[in-house]
Chain A
Amino acid sequence: MKPTAFLRSSIKDFVLNVNNDYRYLKTGYYVSMHAEVLGNKVIPSSESIIDANRTPILLLKASKGGIPTLPYLVTDSVKRIMAAFDFPVVVFAVNPFSYDGFKTARNKSALYRGVKSLGMNYKFAVCVQPLRGEMISFKSIFGKCEQDQTIKEISEKAYSVFKIPVCKLHVQRVDQEAFLCGLQPLKKEEISPYDMKTISEEICQMSNLGERLIG
C-alpha cells in the first residue's frame, strides 16, 4: 500500500512502514504517527524515528540497550569541546535532520568550521565524540549489513533497539572493538537492487506471518 493511501485510511492492523527517509515531518514519519493514532502497532514507532535521528538520544538509548558507544558532549561551545576531548573529534548535527552525516575535526580551526556548519551558524548545538579509530558508514537494512561480525552485531542490536528498517549507520572501529556513533536516512539513489531484494525478503517473511504492509 502506498503511504499516501494509508494516510487516508483507518486500517486497524500491525503496520510495517518501509521508507528510505524517516526524517521528522516527512511522509515516513507521518505513516508511523498515523498508525499509532489509529491504535496500531507499528515498525518503526514515531518516537524511535525522532530519537534515532537525534545523535545524543540515539547514543543514550543505544547505551541503555547494550550497544557500545563512546562518550559524547552536547554543546555549541568549542572551548568546552576542547576541554573535554583531545583532537581528533567527530562532530554530528543535533538539530536539523540532514543527509550530511558528520565532520571530522583534527585541529581547532576545523572544529570551529564543523561546529559552525553543523550547528547552522551556532543556531543549534552539536554532538561531539572523540575519534579514536576509523569511522565506517554503511547501510543497515532490517539490521543486516555487509560488514564484519563486530559491526554486524552493532547493526543488529541497533535494529532491535530502534527498529528503523532502512538507514545508514556510522560506527567507529577502535582496534577490535566497534562503537555506534550516529544514524541517518538513506537517499533513494543509495538503495541498490541488492538492498531492494533484502527488503523484499524481509517483507515476504513478515507478510507470511499475516501482517499488513505499508511502503
Chain B
Amino acid sequence: MARIACFVEKYNFSDPREEKALQNFKQAAARAGHEFDFMFRENVSAIPKYDAVFIRATTDPLFTAYVVSRTASELGLKVVDDPESIQICGNKIHQYALFEKYNIPHIPTIFINKEEFHHKQIVEIFREFGKPVVVKAPYTSFSRYVEKVACETSFREVALRFFRRSDVLAVQKFMPTAFDWRVGVLNDEVLYVCKYMIPKGRWKHGAKLRGKPTVIWGRTFSMKRENAPARLKEVALKACAVIGHGLYGVDIKEVNGEYVVVEVNDNPSIYAGYEDLRNKDVYGKIIAYLVD
C-alpha cells in the first residue's frame, strides 16, 4: 500500500465537477489499496510522510505548488507534476524555444523583449503575421493573459501590461478555429482526447464577458482515445516528449488538415463528466503511475 498526498487549494473544491473528479481519484486509489489524502498548504511539512505527491492546485514556479513539487522531488518521492515540467510549462517562452529547437509543429511565434520593444518591431510583426496577432504572457493559464491585438496602440497597451511581470513575451499568429483539440498525455501515452469548443463570437476557450468578471467557457466534447486521429496523437506525444514524462494536456489546432501545437499544459484540468467521459480509466491510470 502506498500513501499518496494530493496537494490542493480551497478553490479546487469550488466547482462540483472538479470536486467530483478529486473524489474519483480518491476512490481509484482506495480500489487499488492505496491511501489518498488531500494536503493543503498549511500541511506541506507532512510531505516526507508520503510515497507520492499528486498536485492538483494550479502550478507555476511562483506558486506554493512548485515548492511542494521540488520538495517532494528532492526527497525522492514520485511527483506529478514534477518541478522540471512546471518550469517548462509554466513559462511559455521556455516551451516555445524548445518547440523551435526540436521542430515541433507549433503556432508561428516571435519573442519580444522589454528593452527592444519599439515601433519598428511592431510594424515587422504585423507585416509577418498580419492583423490581428495574439500577445501571450509566459505565465498564461486558463486562457488568461492572452490577448488579441489589431493595432499598434492596443499592442503597446497589452505588451506594457504584461511586461510588468515578465521581460520577455510571445507574439503569435492569429489562427481562429471552431475548437482546440485537448490531448491528455501521461508517461508518453495518450490518456484522453477532447474537443474544447470556442464560444460563439469568441476566439479562445475561456472568454471574459465585456465589462464583467464572469468567464464563459466553451463546451467540451470527449471522445475515445482510440477514435482520435493518429496524426493528432503523434503530434501531442512529440510535443510532450521535449518536456518530460509526466501528465500533460496538449492544446492543438487543426488548420488546413495540419496539426499545430498551441501549448502544452502541466496540471491539466480533469473535471468529472468532461475529460473522463469516454475514458473512464483516467483516474486509475494516474494513480497507477504515481505508485509505480
B115–A80 touching, CB < 8 Å: no
Say if the beta carbon of A57 comes within 8 Å of chain B: yes
21 contacts between A and B (CB under 8 A): A4-B113, A25-B138, A25-B168, A27-B167, A30-B167, A30-B168, A37-B94, A37-B97, A46-B94, A47-B83, A47-B87, A50-B61, A50-B66, A51-B70, A56-B71, A74-B44, A74-B45, A96-B62, A124-B63, A124-B64, A125-B67
Min distance, Cβ A70 to any Cβ of chain B, angstroms:
14
Kindly identify which residue among B66, B113, B115, B168 contacts A54, using a CB–CB cutoff of 8 Å: B66
Q: Which residues 72-115 of B sit at the A interface, judged by CB distance below 8 A?
A: 74, 83-84, 87, 91, 93-94, 97-98, 101, 111, 113-115
A4 to B168, CA, bound (A): 10
Pick from B64, B66, B74 the residue with the most CB of A within 10 Å.
B64
**A64 to B, closest residue via Cβ:** B74
A51 to B66, CA, bound (A): 9
Which B residues touch A74, using CB under 8 A?
41, 44-45, 64, 67
**Interface presence of A34 (CB below 8 A):** yes
* B43 / chain A contacts, CB cutoff of 8 Å: 75
Q: Which residue of A lies closest to B70 (CB)?
A: A57
Q: Which residues of B contact A77 (CB under 8 A)?
A: 42
A194 to chain B, nearest CB (A): 28
Q: How many residues in B have their beta carbons less than 8 Å from beta carbons of A?
A: 34
Known: A33-B93, A64-B74, A74-B67. A50 touches B87 (CB 8 A): yes
Min CB gap A141→B, angstroms: 23
Known interface pairs A30-B167, A97-B62; A25-B70 also in contact (CB < 8 Å): no
Q: How far is the CB of B251 from chain A (nearest CB, A)?
A: 21
Q: Is B54 an interface residue (CB 8 A)?
A: no
Interface residues on A, range: 20 to 34
A73 proximity list for chain B (CB < 8 A): 45
**Residue from B41, B97, B165 in contact with A34 in the complex, judged by beta carbons closer than 8 Å:** B97
Asked if B166 is an interface residue, CB under 8 A from chain A, the answer is yes
The answer to whether B113 and A7 have CB atoms under 8 Å apart is yes
Q: How far is the CA of A95 from the CA of B115 in the complex (A)?
A: 26
Residues from chain A with a CB closer than 8 A to the CB of B62 are: 24, 95-97
Contact (Cβ within 8 A) A37 B98: yes
B116 interfacial contact with A, CB 8 Å: yes
A61 contacts across to B, CB distance below 8 A: 74
Report the bound CA distance from A125 to B83 in whole Å: 18
Q: Is B139 an interface residue (CB 8 A)?
A: yes
User: What residues on B are CB-neighbors of A50 within 8 Å?
Assistant: 61, 66, 87
Residues 233-271 of B, flagged 1 when their CB comes within 8 A of A and 0 if not, give 000000000000000000000000000000000000000
A122 to chain B, nearest CB (A): 10
Q: Which of A60-95 contact B (CB under 8 A)?
A: 60-61, 64, 73-77, 80, 94-95
User: Which chain B positions have C-beta within 8 A of A47?
Assistant: 83-84, 87
Q: Are B67 and A75 in contact (CB under 8 A)?
A: no
- Distance in angstroms from B281 CB to nearest chain A CB is 34
